[in-house]
């Protein structure tokens, strides 16, 4: 609409480039999502969210800003939404799931940088992300070397970039670093918003985020059924929308879908026939609109039953204890909760392998497809021992290394089909 166009212009977006991006996004959504058979009706909510992803949701954020609320953008699940909400601000995930302005990006970053990082730069340089342009503060984090160094360059393009340091080992010193960094972040949020974070506000924020996670847990656990009541593509979408929807509305909408899915499970109604080979995806995050690999897998006669990913269970599986009574106790609970996230930037990282095996069992997966983004050292390196450990337990594993381009789609499809045949 014209309203949206003037909103995008005011945000400083490049309208022509933005039209091109929305065109590609809309086509991909139609071809990949709307073309699916027997989708749960509740997915209509996510279809609406996606059709308004740069429209209504941005308008809501701008209305919040007009009312004095701050918007904080993040690229990693280590940025605690609880602290942001407790300071009366809103957290949005900044999606980095599509290539954009690659020629300009490659003047600033080496070619052998992962697609996720390049995409974050492309959306900024191309002026096509209204979330990024709405943010009053953008939080970067020292995770992999690629991101850590990229934020130095991104800092020249983004006005209020805050960088959070993160530990690399699950040691006492590592925990102390995370605690110090979360305390520093809390203080930075208080400065940004002018709000002093109280125990009551923290408690309420913890409950809001836990409710969002619990709704997702409910949805994910229903995928253990055979036939599974929801496709992997649709479940991934719920995991993706988790990062930028209004928290309370997201929770209510996911719970409504779960009511429907429970009926489906009771009636043994699924999106794929019972007995369809079941795949667990494990590895790098899949941000909107990176639907390439799940699309290939679910067009190859298999169904995805779980995501061991930050856009998935690695990001949401733990709840934060809300029983503390003081700010210090609640902050300690937040540190405890996030310190369990088993990102491959940690060394060693045995919990991740345990979680993969646990998920294989819980969702009755027949095999694991390890998804590694090209040039992502943490996950590509970890993939090799993970594959070996799984195969030692007779869990078939296929290691995929890819990017956001479609050039390798045919070759990937052949490999995935051959793998599915074996299951």
Q: What's the min distance (Å) between Cβ of 320 and ligand BJ8?
A: 16
* Interacting residues with ligand BJ8 between 111 and 130 (CB under 6 A): 114, 116-117
What separation in angstroms does the CA of 235 have from each of 62, 194, 242, 354, 376? Answer: 28, 37, 11, 22, 24
Q: What's the min distance (Å) between Cβ of 113 and ligand BJ8?
A: 8
For residue 155, the number of C-alpha atoms closer than 13 Å in the C-beta half-sphere is 13
Q: Are 146 and 115 in contact (CB under 8 A)?
A: no
Tokens of 51: 């059709």
Q: Are 307 and 136 in contact (CB under 8 A)?
A: no
- As a whole number of angstroms, the distance between CA 122 and CA 20 comes to 14
The region of 103-111, 142-150, 206-214, 228-236 touching ligand BJ8 under the rule CB under 6 A is: 142-150
Q: What's the min distance (Å) between Cβ of 259 and ligand BJ8?
A: 30
Please report whether residue 386 would count as binding ligand BJ8 according to CB under 6 A. Answer: no
For 375, other C-beta atoms within 10 Å of its C-beta total: 19
The interface mask with ligand BJ8, positions 153-182, x = CB under 6 A, is ------------------------------
φ, ψ of residue 185 in degrees (nearest 5) = -65, -40
Binding test (CB under 6 A) with ligand BJ8, winner from 80, 126, 140, 146? 146
Q: What's the min distance (Å) between Cβ of 53 and ligand BJ8?
A: 20
Please report whether residue 378 would count as binding ligand BJ8 according to CB under 6 A. Answer: yes
- As a whole number of angstroms, the distance between CA 129 and CA 280 comes to 31
- As a whole number of angstroms, the distance between CA 128 and CA 174 comes to 37
Please report whether residue 343 would count as binding ligand BJ8 according to CB under 6 A. Answer: yes
Look up tokens 């080496």; give the residue: 110
Please report whether residue 376 would count as binding ligand BJ8 according to CB under 6 A. Answer: yes
Instruction: Give the number of residues in contact with ligand BJ8, rule: CB under 6 A.
Output: 20
Binding test (CB under 6 A) with ligand BJ8, winner from 101, 201, 225, 284? 284
Please report whether residue 312 would count as binding ligand BJ8 according to CB under 6 A. Answer: no
Binding test (CB under 6 A) with ligand BJ8, winner from 285, 306, 312, 396? 285
Nearer to ligand BJ8, 80 or 146 (CB): 146
Cα 267 to the chain's mean position, in Å?
31
Nearer to ligand BJ8, 139 or 258 (CB): 139
Q: What's the min distance (Å) between Cβ of 144 and ligand BJ8?
A: 3
Nearer to ligand BJ8, 95 or 303 (CB): 95
Q: Are 48 and 246 in contact (CB under 8 A)?
A: no
- As a whole number of angstroms, the distance between CA 385 and CA 304 comes to 22
DSSP summary character for residue 135: -
- As a whole number of angstroms, the distance between CA 359 and CA 293 comes to 19
Q: What's the min distance (Å) between Cβ of 406 and ligand BJ8?
A: 19
Please report whether residue 76 would count as binding ligand BJ8 according to CB under 6 A. Answer: yes
Q: What's the min distance (Å) between Cβ of 308 and ligand BJ8?
A: 11
Nearer to ligand BJ8, 19 or 106 (CB): 106
- Nearest in space to 225 (alpha carbons), one of 283, 271, 294: 271
Q: How many Å is the Cα radius of gyration of the chain?
A: 21
Q: Footprint of ligand BJ8 on this chain (CB under 6 A)?
A: 76-78, 114, 116-117, 143-144, 146-147, 284-285, 310, 341, 343, 345, 373, 376, 378-379
């Amino acid at each position: 609409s014209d309203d949206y166009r003037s909103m995008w212009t005011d945000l400083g977006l490049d309208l022509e480039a933005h039209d091109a991006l929305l065109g590609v996004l809309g086509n991909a959504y139609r071809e990949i999502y709307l073309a699916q058979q027997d989708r749960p009706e509740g997915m209509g909510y996510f279809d609406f969210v996606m059709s308004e992803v740069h429209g209504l949701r941005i308008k809501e954020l701008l209305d919040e800003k007009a009312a004095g609320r701050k918007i904080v953008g993040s690229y990693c699940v280590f940025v605690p939404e609880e602290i942001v909400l407790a300071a009366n601000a809103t957290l949005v995930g900044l999606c980095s799931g599509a290539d954009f302005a690659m020629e300009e990006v490659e003047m600033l970053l080496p070619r052998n940088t992962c697609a996720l990082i390049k995409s974050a730069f492309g959306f900024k340089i191309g002026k096509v992300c209204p979330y990024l342009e709405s943010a009053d503060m953008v939080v970067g984090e020292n995770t992999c070397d690629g991101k850590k160094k990229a934020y130095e360059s991104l800092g020249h393009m983004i006005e209020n970039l805050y960088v959070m340091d993160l530990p690399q080992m699950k040691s006492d010193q590592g925990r102390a670093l995370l605690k110090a960094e979360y305390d520093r972040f809390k203080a930075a949020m208080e400065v940004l918003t002018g709000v002093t974070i109280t125990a009551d506000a923290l408690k309420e924020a913890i409950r809001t985020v836990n409710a969002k996670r619990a709704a997702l847990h409910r949805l994910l656990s229903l995928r253990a059924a055979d036939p599974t009541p929801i496709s992997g593509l649709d479940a991934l979408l719920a995991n993706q929308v988790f990062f930028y929807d209004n928290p309370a509305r997201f929770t209510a909408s996911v719970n409504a879908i779960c009511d429907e899915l429970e009926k489906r499970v009771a009636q043994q109604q699924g999106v794929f026939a019972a007995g369809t080979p079941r795949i667990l995806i494990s590895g790098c995050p899949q941000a909107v609109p990176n639907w390439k690999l799940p699309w290939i897998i679910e067009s190859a006669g298999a169904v995805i039953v779980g995501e061991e990913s930050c856009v998935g269970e690695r990001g949401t599986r733990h709840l934060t204890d809300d029983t503390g009574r003081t700010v210090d106790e609640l902050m300690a609970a937040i540190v405890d909760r996030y310190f369990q996230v088993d990102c491959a930037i940690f060394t060693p990282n045995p919990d991740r392998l345990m979680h993969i095996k646990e998920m294989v069992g819980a969702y009755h997966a027949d095999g694991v497809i390890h998804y590694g983004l090209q040039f992502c050292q943490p996950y590509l390196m970890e993939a090799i021992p993970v594959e070996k450990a799984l195969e030692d337990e007779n869990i078939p594993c296929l290691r995929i290394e890819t990017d956001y381009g479609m050039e390798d789609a045919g070759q990937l499809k052949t490999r995935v089909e051959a793998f599915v045949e074996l299951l």
